[in-house]
Amino acid sequence: MLAKIRAAADEDSGFTLVELLIVIAILGILAGVVVFSVAGIQDNSQAAACKTEATTVKAAEEAYFVKNKTYATFAQLTTAPDKLLGSVPTMVTVAVVASPASYTLTFVAPCTGTP
- Given a contact cutoff of 8 angstroms between Cβ atoms, the answer to whether 60 and 77 are in contact is yes
The pLDDT assigned to 8 comes to 63
Mean pLDDT of 96-115: 83
Determine the pLDDT at residue 10. 64
C-alpha 86/C-alpha 20 separation (Å) is 55
Q: Quick one: pLDDT at residue 57?
A: 92
Domain ranges for the chain:
16-107
Tell me what the mean pLDDT of segment 91-98 comes to: 88
Burial of 37 by CB count in 10 Å (0-12 exposed, 13-18 middle, 19+ buried)?
Answer: exposed
Q: Which pLDDT score, from 0 to 100, does residue 9 have?
A: 61
pLDDT at residue number 23: 95
Q: Where are the beta strands (DSSP E) in the chain?
A: 92-97, 102-107
Where are the strands (E) in 5-113, listed by range? 92-97, 102-107
The 10s digit of each residue's pLDDT in 31-69 is: 988 888 777 676 678 888 889 999 999 999 999 999 988
